[in-house]
Amino acid sequence: MALTPDEFYQHALAATDSEQRLPLSRMTAWEISPFEQDGLRVSALRPPVLPEPPRHGEDPADCSICSDRDKGIWFNERWRLDRIPGVGVPLILMLYPREHYDLADLPDDMAAELGLLGTRIVRHIQAVPHISRAHMYRFGDGAAHLHLWFFARPEGQAQLYGSWLPVWDDLLPEYPAELADADAALVADALVESSGGARTPTV
């Protein structure tokens, strides 16, 4: 059985200094870290918050993702894909179920579709010229409606490898929107060809 919230906090607190700060993570020493260790400080460890605050869209009636169910660059009856604007890497796409599901309550048939769709989206992003790799992420603490991120890593940028890529994306200047739109269209067209669906909302 997992530690209770208080047990976990006390366990972590035992590793902190007098200001309740944990040591710098091993990742900050990696060659791909966007930060130099000198001058970095870890935030003070805060006690647990219980009950946890609700995520956006816990009530489907208030879910902005549901209200955008016909917004995107590719659709089928159950899924939609959209481009996230204002980012630093060449392309970030987001895949959503069109109905209100989180990952844990996704029906089995949609879970099977998700595996195939995710693989095809990665494949199509990596087919775009000057994109070396596509990374798929799922974070579920901000919104209750399932959303999967697809980050395109630019070719040759070895410093942007791996798990630091979302941080680098936040640091980089905004990528030209017209180029991102054109590359997103390539991915959407390839997805229509490989998986069906359409570039405009379906029923």
Q: What is the CA radius of gyration of the chain?
A: 20
Q: b/e map of 93-132 (b: 16 or more CB within 10 Å)?
A: bebbbbbbbbeeebeeebeebbeebbebbbebbeebeebe
Q: Taking 80 as the threshold, does the pLDDT of residue 203 lie above it? A: no
**CB-CB contact of 138 with 148 (8 Å):** yes
Q: Is domain 60-195 classified as CATH 1.10.390.10?
A: no
For the whole model, what pTM was predicted?
Answer: 0.94
Overall average pLDDT of the 25-30 stretch: 94
> Residue 95 to residues 38, 46, 67, 82: CA-CA distances in angstroms?
38, 33, 15, 7
Helix (H) or strand (E) holding 154: strand 148-154
What rounded mean pLDDT belongs to the chain? 96
Quick: pLDDT tens for 124-153.
999 999 999 999 999 999 999 999 999 999
Domain boundaries, the chain: 1-53, 60-195
Give the per-residue pLDDT at 202.
80
